Chains A and B, each alone.
Chain A
């Protein structure tokens, strides 16, 4: 893996994760929240938009960082292996 490939993968991957980040918070937690509120989170009394705004988006944020850490650690290893 060349430095160029490493970087372009990183940029694409970050873009993907940030689109999810924006969709969950600005989308589900804000803009679509009033519409989502007509549904309830399965098995609970949470209106769905409210859940995204005050609980769900935070869980998704944690998952996004964990995904980034795990994937990039693998890619780092590959990059280091190839450059030795």
Chain B
């Protein structure tokens, strides 16, 4: 069997699995649709959270990003894992104790304000759509490269599968398919890594191999640093950006992670407060498996690339260069007409490699067996679909529960609400599909938005709501608006209106500005809250109550 046949087989097999799980776990009530009936075990919830969290970006793009950024790529590793500590310690257990369905539920009830609820709904929907666009692009890339299917058809197939289990099963269907998807994606990610680690260093554990030596006894990292400096690049193991910017970006990603509604919502699905805490632990453990493997893959990939491509005649370049050139993700432009691939950090560079292909192309680059290459394709699809489904549920519950039920039609029946939830999920899938077929060319830029806004709006509103009883609606609303307006306009100005890098505030890039937005939010919310009336006795009682574990 060749690569393509293996890929068809594995993708068809995993898709059949997801559909089987979906039929088995249909949702019969709104409770099951929004929060899987709150019956999910911490271990399953940990896996589902990990799959929900690790998107096409984590699976497909992150190792490639690190491979090219080196030490600067650490911001993603620490940023996207460190947020779970905040979630586990500051947010998850209390929101579980609060015990409703969604994040706008909490914001609306804690501040007894429909305005706050609607601000939260708008943020949740915006953040989720931003994110989904990236997932659908991931699905398209995998389909077009590995199955040689048209991107549009690929997106439609992917959407069809998600449609099936998200609309039918709601959170219950999504949770159990995510458990399966986690297993698929982690196997797909680690197996090629074992192979590579073993081939390069003789040690199959990537995390250990990265810190060891090659056959010649030279440290892997030192060797890569040497190769890069010979070509004129900066060292792989050292930061090449300002420390303030590194700190701000990492902080914004951490706080954004802790404020992302599709992650928070997962902690509503377990039985007890203690399960919410331990599922955050499981989730981070499962995420850490991939996140500590990624830097190793990054180094193997960059080393392999530098070993095989620069200075080689184009005609003799390895076959993967040519296959990926067809998909437009690698381009070679022979500037000096010598037929040799020159690779350099400056204008003489002739080879442009899209970072996204590093993980997908790695098994080919290393010459691994065909089934491993196919496995990576199935894993990429699992990562993209699981995240898309989680986001769709946030959109659907924000519309049917937070808007229809809590704002416009409080007397709607359970059945009616469930129907609304399904219709909202279906519409969201169609919108997401359209975003996947005609991706806005600023996908990467808008992701900074999702994190910046989550950090600057949700995180302070949720955290202060739990840890400061005296915090009131006025403070929360003003804080959220200031956070959103500041962060949003900074990102729009520098990402879309051509603001130049010299004008960055303290040299902080738009990716990191969420942290300043968050500080502003805190800085304004606290005095406003002190100067206005304290929340009612009832609300203060609610806060007392969510701080304590349930006594059963």
A residues with a Cβ closer than 8 A to B are 3, 6-7, 10-11, 14, 17-18, 21, 25-26, 29-31, 33-34, 37, 41, 44-47, 49-51, 53-55, 57-59, 61-62, 64-66, 68-69, 72-73, 76, 79-80, 83-84
Are B250 and A30 neighbours in the complex by a CB distance under 8 Å? Answer: yes
| Cβ of B291 under 8 Å from chain A | yes
- Which one of B66, B77, B86, B254 contacts A58 once the chains associate, using CB atoms below 8 Å? B77
B residues with a Cβ closer than 8 A to A are 66, 71, 73-74, 77-78, 81-82, 84-86, 88-90, 93, 207-208, 210-213, 219-222, 237-239, 243, 246-247, 250-251, 254, 273-274, 277-278, 280-281, 284-285, 288, 291-292, 295, 467, 544, 547-549, 551-552
Are A54 and B247 neighbours in the complex by a CB distance under 8 Å? Answer: no
Are A50 and B292 neighbours in the complex by a CB distance under 8 Å? Answer: no
Are B288 and A58 neighbours in the complex by a CB distance under 8 Å? Answer: yes
Given contacts A46-B210, A65-B84, A69-B281, contact A34 B549 (CB under 8 A): no
Are B71 and A84 neighbours in the complex by a CB distance under 8 Å? Answer: no
Are A29 and B85 neighbours in the complex by a CB distance under 8 Å? Answer: no
Are B211 and A31 neighbours in the complex by a CB distance under 8 Å? Answer: no
Q: A50 contacts which chain B residues (CB < 8 A)?
A: 71, 221, 237
Are A53 and B221 neighbours in the complex by a CB distance under 8 Å? Answer: no
User: Besides the contacts A30-B78, A62-B288, what 5 more A-B pairs have beta carbons closer than 8 Å?
Assistant: A54-B73, A59-B288, A61-B82, A65-B277, A79-B549
Are A62 and B220 neighbours in the complex by a CB distance under 8 Å? Answer: no
Bound form: Cα–Cα A43–B211 in Å = 9
Bound form: Cα–Cα A41–B211 in Å = 9
CB A64 to nearest CB in B, in angstroms, measures: 5
CB A53 to nearest CB in B, in angstroms, measures: 4
Bound form: Cα–Cα A37–B235 in Å = 12
Given contacts A61-B288, A62-B285, A69-B277, contact A45 B212 (CB under 8 A): yes
Number of A-B residue pairs at CB separation under 8 A: 138
Bound form: Cα–Cα A38–B292 in Å = 22
A-B contact pairs, 9 of them (CB 8 A): A14-B90, A18-B89, A21-B85, A26-B251, A45-B219, A46-B210, A64-B85, A65-B280, A69-B274
Q: A37 contacts which chain B residues (CB < 8 A)?
A: 237-238
- Which one of A17, A47, A79, A83 contacts B237 once the chains associate, using CB atoms below 8 Å? A47
Q: B211 contacts which chain A residues (CB < 8 A)?
A: 41, 44-46, 51, 55
Q: A14 contacts which chain B residues (CB < 8 A)?
A: 89-90
Given contacts A18-B89, A45-B213, A61-B288, contact A54 B74 (CB under 8 A): yes
Given contacts A14-B89, A53-B78, A80-B551, contact A30 B467 (CB under 8 A): no
Bound form: Cα–Cα A77–B279 in Å = 18
Closest to A72 in B: B277
- Which one of A30, A49, A68 contacts B247 once the chains associate, using CB atoms below 8 Å? A30
Q: B208 contacts which chain A residues (CB < 8 A)?
A: 44
Are A61 and B85 neighbours in the complex by a CB distance under 8 Å? Answer: yes
CB B252 to nearest CB in A, in angstroms, measures: 13
Are B77 and A84 neighbours in the complex by a CB distance under 8 Å? Answer: no
Q: A49 contacts which chain B residues (CB < 8 A)?
A: 237
Closest to A18 in B: B89
Most buried by A among B88, B291, B292: B88
Q: A17 contacts which chain B residues (CB < 8 A)?
A: 85, 89
CB B287 to nearest CB in A, in angstroms, measures: 9
CB A56 to nearest CB in B, in angstroms, measures: 9
Q: B81 contacts which chain A residues (CB < 8 A)?
A: 57-58, 61
Bound form: Cα–Cα A72–B89 in Å = 10
Most buried by A among B246, B280, B552: B246
CB A35 to nearest CB in B, in angstroms, measures: 11
Q: B74 contacts which chain A residues (CB < 8 A)?
A: 29-30, 53-54
Are B288 and A3 neighbours in the complex by a CB distance under 8 Å? Answer: no
Q: B93 contacts which chain A residues (CB < 8 A)?
A: 72
Q: A69 contacts which chain B residues (CB < 8 A)?
A: 88, 274, 277-278, 281
Are A68 and B89 neighbours in the complex by a CB distance under 8 Å? Answer: yes
Q: A55 contacts which chain B residues (CB < 8 A)?
A: 207, 210-211, 292, 295
Bound form: Cα–Cα A41–B219 in Å = 12
Are A54 and B85 neighbours in the complex by a CB distance under 8 Å? Answer: no
Bound form: Cα–Cα A62–B81 in Å = 9
Closest to A67 in B: B281
Q: B243 contacts which chain A residues (CB < 8 A)?
A: 30-31
Are A54 and B295 neighbours in the complex by a CB distance under 8 Å? Answer: yes
CB A9 to nearest CB in B, in angstroms, measures: 11
Given contacts A54-B295, A58-B291, A62-B285, contact A7 B78 (CB under 8 A): no
3 tightest Cβ-Cβ pairs between the two chains A and B: A45-B219, A44-B211, A53-B74
Q: A33 contacts which chain B residues (CB < 8 A)?
A: 71, 239
